[in-house]
Amino acid sequence: MTELNKIALQILSKGKGILAADESTATMTKRLDSVKVQSNENNRLLFRQTLFSSLSMKECIGGVILYDETIRQKTSTGKTIPELINSTGSLTGIKVDTGAKVLAGSKEEKVTEGLDGLRERLKEYYKLGARFTKWRGVYSISDKYPSKLSISANAHVLARYAALVQEAGMVPIIEPEVLMDGNHSAKDCQHKTSEVLQKCYEELELNNIDLKGTILKPNMILPGTNSGEKISSEEIAELTLECLKNNVPSSVPGIAFLSGGQSEIEATANLNQINIKNNTGFVMTYSYGRALQQSALKFWSKDLKNITGTQEIFDHRAKMCTLAAQGKWSKNLENSK
């Protein structure tokens, strides 16, 4: 087993998942504004360090993805954030893209940037304690999109990113996110996600990526939020599994879904069904941002000093997600706080 494969499996095994706490300062400010908390360096640190010192870190969270600001911060006890995360047995990850920018040539679409200077940044992140990384490509669905250009441009940069990350001794999370927004059907989402994944793996192979040392972070297959289509968790699971089975090479050790705007319960129930029906051989777990943090953030915003109460809310969510990552979640367990 290679070192990178070991890291990937350490993050994902035994029902563990990933806490995506890598919101850029702009995104974190939106999240804090929504609960009327001032977005300053100290408050961003306080909320995040509250989560990273929760009890569930040990049992549930195999890895935490950080943003550049957070990986450099220290807690009040003088520990660095990576030291705090590592002391729970979880691994530190870092978002290394610099965001999705307008794609010249198809201006309603986006391509993710961040390759310039990446080799040097990766060396620094490794020294700061990171052992895995994230890069997110983003695609929207409409009658004309995603275009072949956006599919190809994003796959190309994702693969070049992954090559640099493996060269630096870290595991790249490959995140091609087909957005939920739109009128499209779940079938359309399955179609477009399949095209996106195929192109990503074509480019990853061209760039000689060791797939065993990667993690895929895809969207689930869902109907567009404005489509009016309602489908069950069972159907979502079937469409998602079919898509991944047909388009992801079997050497990929694990898949960690993004929540993408689903509610906490939807993201948990859908992951649970995916695991009940999992016939793919891939580990299927979570790499949630909003679906792990939303309730905790709301609770914390009412009293920034109530650390224990905030941690209890987070611990419950993390436990539910970890049960879902083993197909063991139920509504009864959800309500048995």
Instruction: Name residue 34's amino acid.
Output: S
Secondary structure E strands in 80-219: 91-95, 100-103, 106-112, 132-139, 171-178, 215-216
Which is nearer to ligand 13P, 179 or 186 (by Cβ)?
179
Q: Which of 58, 49, 54 is nearest to 78 (CA)?
A: 49
Which is nearer to ligand 13P, 223 or 260 (by Cβ)?
260
Helix, strand or coil for residue 329? coil
Which structure tokens are listed for 155? 């796959």
Closest separation in Å from C-beta 292 to ligand 13P:
7
Q: Nearest to ligand 13P by Cβ — which residue?
A: 289
Strand-pairing partners, residue 254, are: 283
Task: Select from 200-208, 253-261, 275-283, 311-319 the region that touches ligand 13P (CB under 6 A).
Answer: 253-261
Q: Does 221 bind ligand 13P (CB under 6 A)?
A: no
Query: Is 6 an active-site residue?
Result: no
Q: Does 259 bind ligand 13P (CB under 6 A)?
A: yes
Q: Does 260 bind ligand 13P (CB under 6 A)?
A: yes
Supply the DSSP string of 88-113, one letter for each residue. TT-EEEEE----EEEETTEEEEEEE-
Task: Select from 42-50, 123-131, 288-296, 315-323 the region that touches ligand 13P (CB under 6 A).
Answer: 288-296
Closest separation in Å from C-beta 325 to ligand 13P:
14
Spot the catalytic one: 217, 302, 305, 319: 217
Q: Exactly one of 7, 8, 9, 20 binds ligand 13P (CB under 6 A); which one?
A: 20
**Cβ distance 22 to 65 under 8 Å?**
yes
Q: Is 109 exposed, middle or buried (0-12, 13-18, 19+ CB in 10 A)?
A: buried
Q: Does 153 bind ligand 13P (CB under 6 A)?
A: no
| Total chain residues near ligand 13P (CB under 6 A) | 10
Q: Does 93 bind ligand 13P (CB under 6 A)?
A: no
Q: Does 291 bind ligand 13P (CB under 6 A)?
A: yes
Site for ligand 13P in 161-220 (CB under 6 A): 175
Closest separation in Å from C-beta 133 to ligand 13P:
12
Taking the C-alpha atoms of residue 177 and residue 181, their distance in angstroms, rounded to an integer, is 11
Task: Select from 48-56, 112-120, 140-148, 258-266 the region that touches ligand 13P (CB under 6 A).
Answer: 258-266
> For residue 335, what are the contacts with CB-CB under 8 A and spacing of at least 6?
none
> For residue 331, what are the contacts with CB-CB under 8 A and spacing of at least 6?
none
> For residue 222, what are the contacts with CB-CB under 8 A and spacing of at least 6?
180, 186, 189, 231, 236, 260, 262
| Matching residue, tokens 């693969």 | 159
Which structure tokens are listed for 174? 């490959």
Q: Does 297 bind ligand 13P (CB under 6 A)?
A: no
Which is nearer to ligand 13P, 123 or 297 (by Cβ)?
297
Which is nearer to ligand 13P, 74 or 298 (by Cβ)?
298
Q: Does 31 bind ligand 13P (CB under 6 A)?
A: no
Q: Does 48 bind ligand 13P (CB under 6 A)?
A: no
Site for ligand 13P in 133-152 (CB under 6 A): 136
**Cβ distance 94 to 66 under 8 Å?**
yes
Q: Does 223 bind ligand 13P (CB under 6 A)?
A: no
> For residue 29, what are the contacts with CB-CB under 8 A and spacing of at least 6?
39
Which is nearer to ligand 13P, 175 or 238 (by Cβ)?
175
Burial 76-92 (b: 16+ CB within 10 A, else e): eeeebbbebbbebebbb
Task: Select from 37-45, 287-295, 309-317, 326-334 the region that touches ligand 13P (CB under 6 A).
Answer: 287-295
| Chain positions contacting ligand 13P, by CB under 6 A | 20, 136, 175, 258-260, 288-291
Give catalytic residue positions: 217
